[in-house]
Each structure stands twice: as structure tokens, then as C-alpha cells.
């Protein structure tokens, strides 16, 4: 059974801080990983994809992948209240991407 | 505007009454998929389709059917809905067959089965 594990949270950070969201996966064959943001009552929206070990930066977001440790993370710098949402980690490599259950992030002013 | 459109967005029905949730995408994507999302269980894939007339089961296919007669459409059919199918349903599509984690989601269909 392929699994992607996330702490459900909530993770609460003050505005302007760095939010760190983590994810582990069980399938060593997974080649690609994704972070989705889902606001309450809305559909998931892709915010980051990462395919190789190391860091990938896009604006305030940095995704980190460590295949040896089977670990994926998402850093959000200068967190804003508008970043408050549930963040879903997903692992791919087949035609059935596996989603984690999501981490709820709350950014308080 | 590139989008995935689902209908209906909200539906309350009764046990055993057949229903269809439609999904249409205007991005010429080959890959389409249906998910259900339940509290504490996350997103679970029901069925997916690689192309016209090519469909396969996901993790939770029981009680559902799909068809892919046209590239843009991928309806989800509940032949005899039951209360345990009360859920939030998402249709999603992807351009790349080999990298189907980059998904575009529809707005969701909230289904209640009484």
C-alpha cells in the first residue's frame, strides 16, 4: 500500500514567520511530488511540483525533496493570513497519484 | 479560460436513485480522474481514464461507474447510491500521462444520499 503521511495539524504560525509543512512517503518508486493548497470549501490547487532531490523555489514557496529519507517538505516564507488553508502532499510515479490527508495551516495576524 | 467543470455542484438524493455527475474539461487533456474527499480520509481516487474508451479503477471504485466516450467528458455514474457515498467529489484532469500528479481540479460536487 503506497502511503503519504502528513501531520494533520493545525499548524499555527504568526504573520511574517516561516511555515514548515512536512510529508513522508512509503513508495521508493515515487518519482515526483506535489503540493496542493486547498481553501475551505474549495478545490485543491497545485502550487509546487518537485522531481529531483534538493530544493525548488517559487516566490515565497520552497519545496524540498530527500529521496533517501523519503521526505518532502514545503516552506512558506513571510506567511500571510491568506496562506491559511489545508496543504496536501501528493506522490506520483504511476497513474494513481497518492495524496496525504493534508495539514491545516493557520497564519494569525 | 482553462477549466474543469462539474455538474451538479450540490445534490441531495435518496438511496437507490441513479444519478450522474458530469465532468468536462476544455484543455484537451488526455488524463481524467474522479476523487472523493471525506473528513479524516483525504482525497481518494475512484476511477481514472488515460484516453477515450480507456478507464481503470482507482482505490475506491465500488458503487461507481464511469465512461469516456469523448476526450473532454468523463461522467461519474452512481447506479444505486447509498448513504456511504455521501461525500465531496472532485473531477480532475492532467495534460501529461507520465506525470499525472499535476492535476487541474473541478470545483467539486457535494453529494448527500439520504
User: Which one of B40, B56, B101 has the shortest CB-CB distance to A92?
Assistant: B101
Cβ-Cβ contacts under 8 Å, A32 against chain B = 99, 101
Contact A88 B43 (CB under 8 A): yes
Ramachandran angles phi, psi of A83, nearest 5°: -80, -10
Contact B59 A96 (CB under 8 A): yes
pLDDT confidence of residue B98: 65
pLDDT confidence of residue B62: 97
* B21: pLDDT strictly greater than 80: yes
**Of all residues in chain B, what percent carry a pLDDT higher than 70?**
96
pLDDT confidence of residue A1: 65
- Bridge partners (DSSP) of residue A36 are A46, A88
CA–CA gap between residue A77 and residue B42 (Å, rounded)? 26
- Per residue in B66-84, pLDDT (tens digit) is 999 999 999 999 999 999 9
User: Which one of B41, B48, B104 has the shortest CB-CB distance to A96?
Assistant: B48
Cβ-Cβ contacts under 8 Å, A100 against chain B = 42
- Per residue in A27-83, pLDDT (tens digit) is 888 888 999 999 999 999 999 999 899 999 999 999 999 999 999 999 999 999 999
Contact B99 A33 (CB under 8 A): no
Q: Which cell numbers hold the place of A93?
A: 510515479
CA–CA gap between residue A54 and residue A57 (Å, rounded)? 10
Ramachandran angles phi, psi of B91, nearest 5°: -100, 145
Cβ-Cβ contacts under 8 Å, B57 against chain A = none
At residue A69, the 3 state secondary structure works out as coil
Radius of gyration of chain B (CA): 13
- Bridge partners (DSSP) of residue A63 are A56, A74
* A95: pLDDT strictly greater than 90: no
Amino acid at each position: 500500500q503506497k502511503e503519504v503521511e502528513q501531520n494533520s495539524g493545525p499548524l499555527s504560525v504568526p504573520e511574517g514567520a516561516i511555515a514548515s509543512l512536512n510529508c513522508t512517503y512509503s513508495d521508493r518508486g515515487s518519482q515526483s511530488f506535489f503540493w496542493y493548497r486547498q481553501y475551505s470549501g474549495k478545490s485543491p490547487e497545485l502550487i509546487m511540483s518537485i522531481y529531483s532531490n534538493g530544493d525548488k523555489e517559487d516566490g515565497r514557496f520552497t519545496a524540498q525533496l530527500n529521496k533517501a529519507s523519503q521526505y518532502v517538505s514545503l516552506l512558506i516564507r513571510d506567511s500571510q493570513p491568506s496562506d491559511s488553508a489545508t496543504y496536501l502532499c501528493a506522490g506520483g510515479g504511476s497513474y494513481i497519484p497518492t495524496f496525504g490527508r493534508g495539514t491545516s495551516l493557520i497564519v494569525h495576524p | 479560460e482553462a477549466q474543469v467543470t462539474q455538474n451538479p455542484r450540490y445534490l441531495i438524493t435518496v438511496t437507490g436513485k441513479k444519478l450522474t455527475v458530469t465532468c468536462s474539461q476544455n484543455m484537451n487533456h488526455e488524463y481524467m480522474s474522479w476523487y472523493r474527499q471525506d473528513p479524516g480520509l483525504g482525497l481518494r481516487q475512484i476511477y481514472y481514464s488515460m484516453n477515450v474508451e480507456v478507464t481503470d479503477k482507482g482505490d475506491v471504485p465500488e458503487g461507481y461507474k464511469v465512461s469516456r466516450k469523448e476526450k473532454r467528458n468523463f461522467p461519474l455514474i452512481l447506479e444505486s447510491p447509498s448513504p456511504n457515498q455521501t461525500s465531496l467529489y472532485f473531477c480532475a484532469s492532467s495534460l501529461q500521462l507520465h506525470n499525472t500528479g499535476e492535476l487541474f481540479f473541478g470545483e467539486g460536487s457535494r453529494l448527500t444520499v439520504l
